[in-house]
Amino acid sequence: MHKIILHEVGPRDGLQMEKETVPLEFKIKWIQAGMDAGIDIVQVGSFVNPQKVPQMADTDKLCAHFMQPGMKPKAVILSALVLNEKGVDRGMACNVEMFCMGVSASETHSRKNTGMGISEALTRIIAMAKVVQAAGKKVQVSVQSAFGCGYEGAVPEGRVIEIVGRYLEAGVRAISLADTAGHATPDRVEKLFAALRQLDDQVECACHFHNTYGLGLANCYAAMRAGVGYFESAFAGLGGCPFTAVAGGNVCTEDLVHMLQHMNLRHDVKLEELTRIAADVSRFFKRELLGVVYNTGAIP
């Protein structure tokens, strides 16, 4: 089995829709605990307009904290989401190690999410990716709504492949397919990632599934079968895109790790630490969350 890399997006995608603002000290505690548990990449936040997404207003402070010497394990990569050129500038100023950016394959979702159509968004994202690469930083680009759109329904596979082809032409090979609306099914996951590899067998594939219709872990397994190496998930299954018709939580980090470990993978990750994070997040928000294993405990 190829190596599985875990990308925790809870501090960003997990929290962006929450109405109750999470204090900086709680975010620091949860991020630090995830790093200590053995997570490979942590997405600390997004460089977006704090008026539109108040939960992300402290992303600069979080980056400044964890980029101090000795504040994170050397092997852990800090990532952040950027939507525009100003976000790239802020990320550079904070010395972010990995920039995540993307384009929706749905015209409607693209305009609701960024205020731009697909063509304009793609041109700008590719230019931004080149700037980041020229600075020696890692960049991962994504195709959002790659498996369907809450507004438009089915998204043509050819449109997804066309966007990926533009990324590859620009020299960007770390590519994520994001199931923003949660419409993916395992068969389509395998088919679409196989199509990516036909374009370029050196592509570094990542996946980002939402569990809107209960298919998140099944789609992760299909992605593993298709050779995907990077898996994005959120503690306690929090999250969802605020600009889709039916928002569903992310694949749950501790549930994903639990599955992997019972497949004899990623035993280096401390599952009990991840379940403690989920329980603490649940206590903070004063409600039961979508994760399963933090409530049931692991299979012996």
Q: Rounded to whole angstroms, how far apart are CA atoms 82 and 53?
A: 13
Q: pLDDT tens across 219-250, in order? A: 999 999 999 999 999 999 998 665 554 556 89
- What pTM does this model have? 0.96
Q: What does the pLDDT read at residue 246?
A: 56
Q: Rounded to whole angstroms, how far apart are CA atoms 211 and 213?
A: 6
- Read off φ and ψ for residue 204, nearest 5 degrees: -100, 95
pLDDT in tens, the chain (300 residues): 689 999 999 999 999 989 999 999 999 999 999 999 999 999 999 999 998 889 999 999 999 999 999 999 999 999 999 999 999 999 999 999 999 999 999 998 888 878 889 999 999 999 999 999 999 999 999 999 999 998 899 999 999 999 999 999 999 999 999 999 999 999 999 999 999 999 999 999 999 999 999 999 999 999 999 999 999 999 999 986 655 545 568 999 999 999 999 999 999 999 999 999 999 999 999 999 999 999 999 999
Residue 229: DSSP 8-state: -
CB burial readout 263-289, b (16+ within 10 A) else e: eebbeebbbebbbbbbbbbbeeeeeeb
Residue 59: DSSP 8-state: H
Q: What does the pLDDT read at residue 123?
A: 96
Q: Rounded to whole angstroms, how far apart are CA atoms 1 and 264?
A: 10
- The one catalytic residue in 94, 100, 207, 241 is 241
- Read off φ and ψ for residue 230, nearest 5 degrees: -115, 125
- In 3D, which of 100, 98, 105 has the Cα closest to residue 83? 100
What SS3 state is found at 220?
Answer: helix
In the chain the beta strands, taken as DSSP E runs, fall at 5-8, 41-47, 77-82, 98-104, 138-144, 174-179, 204-209, 230-233
Total residues belonging to the chain: 300
241 is catalytic: yes
**Domains of the chain, CATH where assigned:** 5-296 (3.20.20.70)
